[in-house]
Every structure is written in structure tokens, then in C-alpha cells.
A and B are shown apart, each in its own frame.
Chain A
Amino acid sequence: MDDIDYLSMGGFTINYEDRAGLNCSLRILKDAEKYKNVSLWGRIIGVQKDYFIAQCWNDDIFDRKYFYSTDTITWLQLPEITDEELKDISEIYSRFIGDPSYEYQLQNQTPQKKEPINEEKRLSGVIKMINYDVEIVPRGAYYQDRLRNILSNEKFKGLTEKDMIDLASYFHFRSGFKLSLETVEDRISIDQSIDIFDNIEKDKPDGIWSLQVEKGGSTITLRSLLWPGYFFFHAPKTEMRQCKYGSMYNGYGIKNVNLGIML
């Protein structure tokens, strides 16, 4: 929450009213739902209203619950969605309206008694997709202990100058990584405790990530072109400040399907 100033490199910020509201309501949410960790995931901009999304988790970082709010005061839990629904949701390319109960007309309307997709479900699906596709962390920020638990590295000092600008030092934050021969070949000094995720270098198509050096080389920003609005920043530890990294989604919640043509 304190690193909001870094977000301005992505061109957006959270205005003071929202900041105040979020600070308070997130704290209350944490208490009410009895979670260990609560943080702001991002903001999805709708036509009439925007949604703030908060994520909560206890120990397993991959098992997160999501809450949304349109006014930073009240939070509502997002429903779980099935895979079929996810498939349908991935076909929707219109803007979020801002009304959680708005129902979408799907392209291929099957006359089954499936429940129509409403905006809440779409939110849930979109968040899932975004997390799978573009959520990234720097190498070394998380490590794996002998019991295969993934833990956050408290002593993470940031990447070196050389590593900062290398796409291979950033990992997809998702489960399902298999240490294969290819990965070992790619990276000379593989360290089993921290090389626990897929790195983003292999993302297709080339150029899907836009890496830029800001503030004269001290901070790195990564923007995803597949989900425009996903913004990641990283500032390694120096004598003058602590190590910082973070990411937030601030966008329309629409995947960029024209990516291939646009690059």
C-alpha cells in the first residue's frame, strides 16, 4: 500500500479518498473474514463504476479468495467458477459495466439450463485468467523449503543490475512448475530453492512483455501487452532505500487478442 507512488510509473494512481477507504476497509475485512493476509489485487475499470479487488490468503499463497468492492467500503466475495464457465468468460470481450448483476449474452447461446454469466462471475474468471497469464514475481522473492512449501523470502534484496533487465529473472507466479531439462539448460546457475516457477522469457509471442527502465536505471517496470493494465515494478535494494517490488492490475479486464498483429 505504501508503494503506490511506484504505480504512477504505470500512469495510474489511486486517489486519496480511495486510499483512505481501502486502508480502513481492508483492515476490517481481514478481521472479519479471519485471514492472515489481505492485500489489494487491483482495479478493474467499468463503464459506470470501477471494481476494486482484494485478495486474501492464509498460508497457501495459491489458495486465495477474492473480494470486490465498488466503493471501497463494503466487500463482497467473488464466487468460484467452473471450468466451463471460465471458457465462456474467456469469450467475452465487452467492457465491464459496473453492475455486478449484469448478465452477459454469450456468443453461442446453448439452450442448456446453464446459469447465465453475470458480472460477478466474469470478474472471478478474469481474475483467474490474469493471475495465470501475467502475475509475476522476481527471482528470489519466493523460495521453496524441503517440504516443498513456497515461502516468501524476507531477506530478498532485489535483483542485480544485470538481472534486472533480463526477462528470465521474472517468474510466473503460478503452480505447476516442472523442473525439466530445458529449464536447466537455459539457466546456468540454477538453484532449486528459488527457481521454482516458469520464467517469463519463454512467453509467446516475443515482446509480450514490455520491460522499461525508469528513474535512471534504478527501477524496472514491466507491462503486459496481453492483458493491458497489468503493471509490475521492481526496485532493488540500495543504500538509499529498501527492496521493493509489486504489481497491480489497473485495466479494463479485457484480453488483448490482437497482440500478434500489433507487435
Chain B
Amino acid sequence: MSEQAIPEEVNQEQANIAPEMDERNVPTENNGENVSSENTEQDLNALSNGEKEDKQSSEEDENKVEDENNDDKAEEKTEEKTEGNETINDEEKTTEEKTTEEKPSEEKVEPVEEQKPEEEAVKKISFTIPRDCVLKETEELLVAKTFLMKNSTKTDTNVYDHLSQIVMSILDSKIDNAVDIFETLSTQIKKEKFVPDSFNSYGELRREKEKSSELEDAQIKMELFQNDNEDGRGDDGNELPDLMSLSSLFEWAGISLGKEETFLINTSMQKLMIDKGLKSMRFWGKIYGTKKNYYIVEADQKEEDDDDEVYGEDDAVNPEEEEEGFLENENENEKENTENENGNENENEENEIQESQIEEPEYPVPKIKIKKPNTLSKEIKTGINKYVYYVCNYVGGPWYKLADVIPEKLQLSRKIRKYFTGDLNREIISYPPFEGSEAQYLRCQIARISAATTICPTGYYIFDSEDGEPDDSEGPQPIIINTEFEALSNDQLLDISNWVHHVPYILPQGRTSWENPFGSEEEEENEDEGSDEEGGSDEENEGEKVEPETGPQLLTPISQDEENDDIPAWVSKFCSRTLAPQFNPVCVSSTRWPGAHTVALSDKFSSIYIGDGMKCYGNTYLSAFHIPQPMTTIMNEYQENNEEKEITEQIDPTVEEETAFEEEQAEKLRKKEEDEEGTEEEEEEEEED
């Protein structure tokens, strides 16, 4: 029969599948053969047979049970196959019923029919899996899908999403031969998915590090805004300048630190005032350093604040030099050793050190005839140290207090010319040796600039005539603000003779009031030679006569300042060319201290210094060159005075010569003694007779 022929062919074709089928089916050998042939025939016939659905499903179950581990698609394929097989099986049964083999066919039919229940029975025995627990096709699909969608712990992505994205990208871009570059596409998509904000990526950390300095700076500046205004309002007597309006004045003159920065400086100053309890303050200016800059504030302190960490104070104590008891600062003794300009005095001091070191001199030490100058005392709270200065390196940064000016240091600061670096603790290395920190040098320069360039219109300050007579005052005469001051017109302000100094002049010795360096305690009080009067001589009890130093009186007009070679010391001009005089600010600039400006408009005026803190010594070719102090002369050798031959040089006798000489001497002695003995004997003999 043709039907039979076909199955045979199929049988051959499906030979490969047969062993698979055999594995799946666990019936007896007989059944296996039958089933396998049945299966193959069923393959041909794709039509599903509804009659044997149960049997089909049972076989499917069989297959499923064994195929649990296969993929969905594979399962489906096998299901189809088995379904196909089932149909063929049925037909096989029907056809085989008509086969020649009677018994076997009958047996086949029967055994087939019996097989099924047997198979089922066998299945039940071997697998013991009830049909309900095994997942259906769709459910199995879900399981697989969920597994694929499980996120990887490392990268927070999963296979399912990734694959779907790849497919999407292929579809979107219509890439040809996508399968060839599949791996590349996969990598690309992975790269694009990199999210910097995920907790385990490195990008976030890096970004923070880069912006941190800017962030820090911004945070510091924000702190300035968190100012409790409650305390500030309470204090009435505090004078704080209105920096914002002053800064617009300065802008007219071409000087500016930037509006925002000026505002922040203002806030910072307010904070400082509240923190330290200052009576009044003024923004002094900005000095540029090579690495960092200084913002400087001049303040008037209410009470002594010893808790402050002061910069520039010498802490080292030199125990050997404790002779000068009346000096306030014992540390200055140490400086004496190095700072004295007189070379002789230097040597004498060294002798003194030796004296104190040697407990019992074996030989008399020559007395020191030259009296060395005592260390000058600092002016406390008056004169040069009337104000306290605070500096900070950047706006919003911490304020550092500068120590008071030490007169010797100020003398030295006039001789050196060094750039500031911005580091208060740096030691200044220079010749003549400054031997101090940058904080001290800065303070000296600030003092010099203040004394030279702080000016005010005439009549703003007047002498305070209440505090006794001018003779008794030690320091410069006090001045107070003139309450009846009438603002000068701008035209008058242009004339520099209408401006006066209101900070006392610094004498060459580094103080504003004269102090005799050789004087003793009593004489200190006799020092009435203030800077106000013309020089009188003061008699010292001992030591050299030293002329007291004098300087221009307070409140002298700046037009009388010494000229800077051929250009005037002060230059004033209108800031604008076109504005009407009543609105036109006047800028008065110093040529000696480039960067010092005072700007005034009707009744408002203010001084500021913005520069590098160096003086301009003159306008000639030579004055541009800083000529350092020449080094001290080298000591000469002892000059031999050949005529008098006080000390002559001789060659030491050698040992032989010495012994020969000694022998000679010994012989001569012996001879003498013999002669003497001879004479003595004669004398004795004579006496005896």
C-alpha cells in the first residue's frame, strides 16, 4: 500500500530522530519499536487528531518531563514533533490494523492500546509527576523570561533588556549584516548605558574632586552671609565704613577690587568687628604677594585682647642678655646682637657675652667704655601703634592680627626691598639681615605707608587742646575730629595744600616720638621732645650726646612734603573730564608710594593702598636701582710698627740649640760658684786669722 510505503521512507528519513524518540519514550522494547514507527509516520501527517488527544498529551507530558531543561523553542519543536507523531501514530494504528500480521497487528492494536495505559502506568511509576505541577507552555516561557530579566549585580542591567535594546537599535538603524557586527553593537550599547550617578561608578567621585576648591571657596563665602545681625545692631559706637559707596568713589579713580569682592570684604569686616569687639575699622588696602595677597584692615581696639594669636611676635627668649631690666620686651635683646650698625658696639656686646659666660676670669677683662644703645621700646597704643592691623589672604578667609611695630625692625625695613609672598611666617632673608618674619616686615611697611600717605582735608582734624600743655605729652599731640568741619568744595580739594597728614611722622629711629636710646629710666620721662617741637638738646648724664630726631609736625599740609626729585610728591586730579565739579571726585595720589590714593567728593573722602608695598625712591636713573647697604669693612690685620719693634717675630730655637745654650749657662754658673766659693773661703780664712 502506498501509505505503507511512505511511512517506510519516512522511517528512513526520520532515522535520526528515532533514537531521540527512543530516549524519550520509556516503554518496553516492543512498544518502542511500535512507537518509533508510529512516531515516524505521524511526522508526515501534520494534521492533529482529536481522537487521541489524551494519548498525545500524555506523550507530550512524557516529552516535557524529559525535556525540562531544554529551551522554549526546542520544547515547542519537540511538542510539535510529538504531536505530529501522535497523529501518525493513530493512523499507523489504523493502517496497521489492516496489515498482514494478524496477531501482531491485533496485538499491536491491543498492545498499542494497552501500551498507552501501560505507558501511562509506567510513567506514573517512573516519574511520579502529576500533570498539574508541570508548567504549561506559556508559564514556562514566563519563567525563562524572568530569569533573563534578572539584573546583574555588577552593572544593574540584564540580558533581556540588553538583547531587546540591541534588537531595537538594529531595527532603528536598519544596519545591514547586523549579525556580523552583533558583538560590536552589543559593546556599544553597553557603553552608552554607563550611568555616572550609579553608586559604584567612579565618575561621581572624580567630579567632586575637581570642583572641590571652587566649592570650598563658595562655601566659605556663604558663611560670610550667615551673620547674626542681632549683636551688630546693639553696638552703637562702632564705626564701620560704608565700603560700597566708597568703592564707587574709588572706581572713578580707576582703582577697584571688583564690586562683588568689595562687598564680601565688607561683610567679612563686619564679622571681624563683632568677633573682636573693635571700636572702629577701616579697609586699609591690598598688598600683592607673589603667591598670595593680603587684604588689610586697620582697626581701633576697645580693650586689650590678649587671647589673639599675634603674628610677628618674637617668642624666643635669650637668657644671657637679661641685663636691661627696664626694657619691656626682653626679646629685643637678641636683636641687639645682630642689628647694631655700629661695629664697635657689636664687639663689645660679644665681650659682654663672654663676660657672663666666663665665671672666673683668669685675667682682667677690659672695661667697656663705649656705651651701647639700649633697645628702643615699642610705642604701645599710641603713635605708630595706635591702630591694630588685621590681614587675611583671601576674602572670607581667617583674619590674622599683626604684632606692633618694633622700632629696630622699622629702621631695617627702610633698608631692604623685598617682595611679599603671602606667607606671614616666612623669614625674610636679606642684607642687612632683617631677621624677622614676613608679618613683621608687613607691619613695618604698613606703618610707613600709613604715616606717609594717610591724609585728610584741612580742618577735618584739629589739635585737642584739652589734655594739658604740649610740653608734657610724651607722644604726638592728640587730634580729634573737628565737629565744625565744613566740607571743602571740590575745587579746593584739588589744591594739595588743602590736604594735611593726620598720622604722625615716623622718625628715623622708628618711632613717632623721640626716645633716647642711651638714656636711663629717669630720662625717659624727661623726654619732652615730641615730634611737635623743633629740636632742643637734651642733656644726657652719660654716654654720647645724641641729637633727638624730629620730623614734620602733625597736620602739616602735604604740599610741603619733600619732592620726589623733580616731580612733586603728591599729584591731584579730577577723576572725570566732563562731569561738573560738584560731582567730580578728586583723586590725590602719592608718587613716593605708588598705589596710595585718596579719593574725595565733597564731604566724603577715603584713603586706600593697592600695590606691592614698595616705595619709590626717586625719579632719576640712579634712584631706580636699590642700592643695598654696603657690607661692613673687613677687619685688618695687626699693623706691625717696625720702628719701635714692640713685638717682633723670632724663630724658636731648636732643641739642640736649647740644650747647647743651657749647657753654656750651666758652665758659666759653675764657674761663678767656684769663684765665689774661692772668695768665700779666702774670706773665711782671713776672718779666722
Asked if chains A and B come from one complex, the reply is yes
State the A residues within 8 Å of B (CB).
5, 8-9, 11-18, 43, 47-50, 71, 91-95, 97, 107, 161, 207, 210, 212-213, 215-218, 223, 225, 228, 250, 252, 254, 257-258, 261-263
> Is chain A's binding surface mostly helix, strand, loop or mixed?
loop
Which of the listed residues A8, A107, A207, A223 has the most CB atoms from chain B within 10 Å of its own CB? A8
Question: Closest residue to B624 on the A side, CB-wise?
Answer: A93
Q: Write 20 A-B pairs (CB below 8 A) sorted by A numbering.
A: A5-B258, A11-B257, A11-B286, A12-B254, A13-B254, A13-B255, A14-B254, A15-B251, A17-B579, A48-B571, A71-B577, A215-B214, A216-B216, A216-B218, A225-B419, A254-B624, A257-B624, A262-B417, A262-B614, A262-B626
* Residues of chain A contacted by B213 (CB below 8 angstroms): 213, 216-217
Write the nearest CB–CB distance from B232 to chain A, whole angstroms.
27
- A263 adjacent to B419 (CB under 8 Å): yes
Write the nearest CB–CB distance from B570 to chain A, whole angstroms.
10
* Residues of chain A contacted by B342 (CB below 8 angstroms): none
Question: Closest residue to B250 on the A side, CB-wise?
Answer: A13
- B571 adjacent to A262 (CB under 8 Å): no
Write the nearest CB–CB distance from B442 to chain A, whole angstroms.
14
- A217 adjacent to B254 (CB under 8 Å): no
What separation, in Å, do the CA atoms of A183 and B603 have in the docked complex?
A: 59
Please name 20 further chain A to chain B contacts, defined as beta carbons within 8 Å, in addition to the given A50-B254, A212-B293, sorted by A numbering.
A8-B259, A11-B611, A15-B575, A15-B576, A17-B576, A17-B577, A18-B254, A71-B577, A91-B621, A93-B621, A94-B619, A95-B619, A107-B621, A207-B290, A216-B214, A216-B216, A217-B213, A261-B626, A262-B417, A263-B290
Query: B253 an interface residue at 8 Å Cβ cutoff?
Result: yes
Question: Closest residue to B256 on the A side, CB-wise?
Answer: A13
Write the nearest CB–CB distance from B16 to chain A, whole angstroms.
65
* Residues of chain A contacted by B668 (CB below 8 angstroms): none
Query: B543 an interface residue at 8 Å Cβ cutoff?
Result: no
- B567 adjacent to A95 (CB under 8 Å): yes
What separation, in Å, do the CA atoms of A107 and B218 have in the docked complex?
A: 53
Given contacts A91-B621, A216-B217, A216-B218, contact A47 B290 (CB under 8 A): no
Write the nearest CB–CB distance from B494 to chain A, whole angstroms.
13
* Residues of chain A contacted by B624 (CB below 8 angstroms): 93, 254, 257-258
Identify which of residues 279-300 in chain B touch chain A, using a CB-to-CB cut-off of 8 Å. Answer: 286, 288-293
* Residues of chain B contacted by A250 (CB below 8 angstroms): 254
Query: B363 an interface residue at 8 Å Cβ cutoff?
Result: no
What separation, in Å, do the CA atoms of A173 and B12 have in the docked complex?
A: 90
Smallest CB-CB A-B distances: 8 pairs: A216-B217, A93-B624, A8-B258, A217-B213, A13-B256, A216-B214, A258-B626, A94-B619
Identify which of residues 550-568 in chain B touch chain A, using a CB-to-CB cut-off of 8 Å. Answer: 565-568
What separation, in Å, do the CA atoms of A48 and B620 have in the docked complex?
A: 17
Query: B252 an interface residue at 8 Å Cβ cutoff?
Result: yes
Write the nearest CB–CB distance from B261 to chain A, whole angstroms.
7
What separation, in Å, do the CA atoms of A241 and B562 have in the docked complex?
A: 50
Write the nearest CB–CB distance from B556 to chain A, whole angstroms.
22
Write the nearest CB–CB distance from B524 to chain A, whole angstroms.
37
* Residues of chain A contacted by B612 (CB below 8 angstroms): 228
- A210 adjacent to B291 (CB under 8 Å): yes
What separation, in Å, do the CA atoms of A5 and B257 have in the docked complex?
A: 9
Write the nearest CB–CB distance from A223 to chain B, whole angstroms.
7
What separation, in Å, do the CA atoms of A188 and B610 have in the docked complex?
A: 40
* Residues of chain B contacted by A223 (CB below 8 angstroms): 288
Question: Closest residue to A5 on the B side, CB-wise?
Answer: B258
* Residues of chain B contacted by A215 (CB below 8 angstroms): 214, 217
Question: Closest residue to A228 on the B side, CB-wise?
Answer: B612
What separation, in Å, do the CA atoms of A47 and B218 have in the docked complex?
A: 40
Write the nearest CB–CB distance from B266 to chain A, whole angstroms.
15
Question: Closest residue to B576 on the A side, CB-wise?
Answer: A17
Question: Closest residue to A108 on the B side, CB-wise?
Answer: B621
* Residues of chain A contacted by B610 (CB below 8 angstroms): 11-12
What separation, in Å, do the CA atoms of A250 and B288 have in the docked complex?
A: 15
* Residues of chain B contacted by A11 (CB below 8 angstroms): 255-257, 286, 288, 610-611
- A161 adjacent to B210 (CB under 8 Å): yes
What separation, in Å, do the CA atoms of A261 and B210 have in the docked complex?
A: 38
Query: B594 an interface residue at 8 Å Cβ cutoff?
Result: yes
What separation, in Å, do the CA atoms of A73 and B417 have in the docked complex?
A: 40
Identify which of residues 197-231 in chain B touch chain A, using a CB-to-CB cut-off of 8 Å. Answer: 210, 213-218
Write the nearest CB–CB distance from A185 to chain B, whole angstroms.
28
Identify which of residues 391-447 in chain B touch chain A, using a CB-to-CB cut-off of 8 Å. Answer: 417-419
- B594 adjacent to A252 (CB under 8 Å): yes
Which of the listed residues B293, B418, B576, B611 has the most CB atoms from chain A within 10 Å of its own CB? B293
* Residues of chain B contacted by A12 (CB below 8 angstroms): 254-256, 610
